[in-house]
Amino acid sequence: MGRLARSLRDGIGFDTLLVFFTLAYLLAFAGLPLLYNIVLSFQSVDMFALGSLFHEVTGLENYRAVFEDPLARTVLWNTILFTLGSVLFQFTLGFALALFFNQAFPGSTWFRGLFLAGWVMPGLVVGVLWNWLLSGDFGVINWLLLNTGIIDDPIFWRSDTDYSLLAVMLANIWYGVPFNMILLSVGLAAIPEDLYEAAELDGATAVQRFFTITLPMMRSTIGAVIALGIIFTLQQFDLFAAITSGGPAGSSMVAQYWSWELSFRQFDFGRGAVIAVMMIVVVLGVAAIYVRSTRQETRL
Amino acid sequence: MKRLAAAAFASGLMASAAFAEDVTLTMWTESSNAPEGVFAKEFSDMDNGIKIDVREVRFDDLVAETLRAFATKTNPDIIAIDNPDHAAFASRGAFLDLTPMVEQSDQIDMDNYFDGPRSSLTWGDGVFGIPRASNTIALYYNKDMFRAAGLDPDSPPATWDALYEAAKKLTDPSNDVYGIAFSAKASEEGTFQFLPWVQMAGGSFDNINVDGAAEALDLWKAFFDEGLTSPDTLTRGQWDSTGTFNGGNAAMVISGPWELKRMAADTQFDWGVTLLPVPSDGAPRASALGDFNLAVFANSEHPSEAFRFLEYYDSQVERVWPEFTRMPSRKGVALAPTGNAKIDAAAPVFVEQLQYARNRGPHPEWPRISKAIQDGFQSALTGQKSSKDALDDAAAAIQKIMN
C-alpha cells in the first residue's frame, strides 16, 4: 500500500478529498449559476433563446431599464421595510418566547415544540391560511377588530395599497417567529447556569442579569439569527405569491418577487437577472456578518 | 399493447403496417377533464396505434413551463395553450405550420372557424393550430335581488349608466351585498375583463388611451370608490368573484360560460345572463375572446399522428357545449340542450355575445403588453393616477414594447 493510498484513507489526502468534493459541488451548483446570472444581466435574452448559452450583449441596458422603471423606488423601499420590519418583530417575539420557555415550567418543552408546527408548514400553505384570515369581507382578523371596536370599517388587507405590504409582513412574522425562538433557545441553553447563580448571590436583579449576562453571552447567536433572518426574509416568495402577488398596483412588490415576475411572467430574463445580481450583493454582505458571528461562536 | 397486437395477429386482422409499432404522443393541458383531455383518452383507447399521454400543467405556469421545456427540447408534441399566448410561440417557429396538412384534411377546414379564434392562431401565412373552444364574458344578474330592489328582472342594464344605477340600487351593506363583482386583478384575467370596455369605447390594445377608455375606467373606479364592488375585486380572479355572486354577496357579476355548471348547482336564487352593457344606446358592442387553442410543436417527431388527434377533436366539437359548457369555435354548430333550463336560457346570450368577442393581440409580446394594461387600470383604481394619466402611461409603455 503506497503512501498516497494511506494518506487518502486516513490523513491529509482524505481531508483534501472531502474538501474537493464540497468545493466541486458548490462551484457546479451554486458558483456557475451565480456567474451565469451575472452574465445574463448584461444580455438581452429572448424568451425562446433560453436554450442557447450566449445572447446578444447589451451592456448596462438592463440595469438602466430596471432603475428607470417607475416601480423601482417602491420596490427598494418595500424591500427595506419588509426585511427590517419582519426581522425586528420575528427576533423580538422569538427572543421573548425563548426566554419564556426557558423558565422550565411544567410542559414548557412541549409548548416550545408545538410552536414549531407553524414553521414546518410549507410557505404556500401558510400564505393561503393568512389569505383567509386577512380576507376583507369575511376575514377572521377583520371580524375580531370590528367586534372589539378597534376599527369601524373592515380593512381590505390584500387590496388596500396602504395595507398590502403589512399583510404579507404579518404573515411572515408569524411564520418566522418559531425559527428565531428555537435558535435563540439553543443559545440560552448554552449559557452556564452558575453565572446566573453567582450574579443572583451578588444581588443582581433579573433585568441586570439579562443585560449583563444573557445579552453579552448571546452576542454571536444573535448575530447569526439576525443574519439568517435577513437572508430568509429576502428569500420570502411563497407568501407574496399566495397573498398579494406584489399588488395591488405594485404596492407590495419586493425585489425577490419582482425578479421572478420580470423573468417568468413578462419573460424578460435580463432584467430579472439584474435584480437577482443586486440581491446577491446584499446577501453577500449579510453572509459576511453571519460568518463572523458563527466564527466567534466556535472560539467560545 | 403487446397483447392487443397479438390478438390482432391471431384474428388475422393485421393488414397494415400501422400496427407494427405504437406511437406515443405527449400533450400538455391545464386539465385532463377539459375536452382535449377527455377526447385524448378516447382517442388513445381507439384501435389506431396512437397513444396520448396527457400531463396537467397549472394554468399560471403553462407558458413558463413550456418555454423551459422548449429550451431543453423536452416539450410535448401537442399543447393546449391560452389564445393570447399563441402568437408568441407561432411567431418564433415553435409551433408547426399546419397549412399543408389542413389542405389534405377531409375533417378540418379553417374556413369553418369563426374569424376571432382563427386569427389568434394565424401568424403570417401559416395556421398554427385549431381552436379548442371559445368563450366570452357577459353580465350575470340575480333576478331575486332585482325584484327586491324594485328593478325589472326582465330588462337588465343595457348601458353603462344603467349598470351604474343598478349597482347602486342593489348594493346593500347591511346584508353584505355588493352591487357588482368582476375581476380587476393584475393578471391576464384583469386584462381579459378590462379590454372589452376599452373596445366598446372605440379603443384597442394598441390604442388604449382613447377618451372613452378613461370614462370606462372612471366607471370602474366609481364602483370601487362608492363601495358598489368589494375592494377585493382588485385582487380576486373571475372564479372567486363569481363565487361571491353564487353565495349571494354580489347582485351582478361579469364572467363567462365556464361558470354556468357551478352556478346552476350552487345557487338558491333566480338568475339570468345579459349582454355586456355598452357606453350608450346603439354603441358598438365588444367582448373578450377567451379559451385555448390546440397546437403541434414544430419539433414533434410524429406531426401527422398529432394532426390526426386534432382531426378527431374537430370531429367531436358538437359535444363541447353540452358536456363542458364551452362554446364551439366552429360556425353552424348549434348549442345542444343541456337539460338545465337556466344554462339553456344562457346559451343564446353567450352565442350572441361571442359575435362581438375580439382577440387580445395577436402579438408575440402579449404578456408584456398585457402587463402594461394591468398596471394602467390598477394604478387608476388604487388612486395613484387619474384614469387619463394611467391610460396615457399604459399607451406609452405599449408603444415602447411594440416598436
Percent above pLDDT 90 for chain A = 56
For residue A246, the chain B residues in CB contact (below 8 A) are 186
Residue A48: inside a domain: no
Confidence of residue A1 (pLDDT cuts 50, 70, 90): low
Pick among 3.40.190.10, 3.90.1300.10, 3.30.1300.10, 3.60.15.10: CATH of B2-135+290-343:
3.40.190.10
Q: Which of A241, A44, A260, A267 is nearest to B67 (CA)?
A: A267
Topology classification of domain B138-288+365-402: D-Maltodextrin-Binding Protein; domain 2 (3.40.190)
B367 vs A156, A248, A267: nearest CB:
A267
B371 touches chain A (CB under 8 A): yes
- Residue A130: the pLDDT is 93
Topology match between the domains B2-135+290-343 and B138-288+365-402? yes
Interface A:B, Cβ pairs < 8 A = 79
User: Residue ranges of the domains in chain B?
Assistant: 2-135+290-343, 138-288+365-402
Residue B134 · residue B321 · CB < 8 Å: no
Residue A104: inside a domain: yes
Q: What confidence tens digit (pLDDT) does each residue in B17-74 have?
A: 445 568 999 999 999 999 999 999 999 999 899 999 999 999 888 998 998 898 888 9
Confidence of residue A13 (pLDDT cuts 50, 70, 90): confident
Residue A80: inside a domain: yes
Strand pairing of B271-274 and B292-296? unpaired
Residue A27: inside a domain: no
Contact B232 A136 (CB under 8 A): yes
Contact A247 B235 (CB under 8 A): yes
Backbone angles phi, psi at A132, to 5 degrees: -70, -45
A252: domain CATH number? 1.10.3720.10
Contact A51 B235 (CB under 8 A): no
Q: Is the pLDDT at A54 greater than 60, yes or no?
A: yes
Q: Report the C-alpha gap between B402 and B161 in whole angstroms.
A: 34
Low-confidence winner among A26-30, A32-36, A213-217, B20-24 (lowest mean pLDDT): B20-24
Question: Residue A203's domain spans which residues?
Answer: 69-299
- Residue A119: the pLDDT is 84
Q: Report the C-alpha gap between A291 and A121 in whole angstroms.
A: 28
For chain A, the domain total comes to 1
Q: What confidence tens digit (pLDDT) does each residue in A68-117 have?
A: 988 999 999 999 999 999 999 999 999 999 999 988 788 888 888 888 88
Per-residue pLDDT of chain B (403 residues), as tens digits, is 444 444 444 444 444 444 556 899 999 999 999 999 999 999 999 989 999 999 999 988 899 899 889 888 899 999 999 999 999 999 989 999 999 999 999 999 999 998 889 999 999 999 999 999 999 999 999 999 999 999 999 999 999 999 999 999 999 999 999 999 999 999 999 999 999 999 999 999 999 999 999 999 999 999 999 999 999 999 999 999 999 999 999 999 999 999 999 999 999 999 999 999 999 999 999 999 999 999 999 999 999 999 999 999 999 999 999 998 899 999 888 898 888 999 999 999 999 999 899 999 889 999 999 999 999 999 999 999 999 999 999 999 999 999 8
Residue A32: inside a domain: no
Residue A60: inside a domain: no
- Residue A297: the pLDDT is 53
Q: Report the C-alpha gap between B242 and B252 in whole angstroms.
A: 9
Q: Which of B388, B391, B357, B354 is nearest to B374 (CA)?
A: B391
Q: Which of B289, B337, B333 is nearest to B314 (CA)?
A: B333
For residue A29, give the C-alpha cell.
451548483
Residue A28: inside a domain: no
B401 to chain A, closest Cα gap in Å:
11
Q: Which of A77, A55, A134, A123 is nearest to A258 (CA)?
A: A77
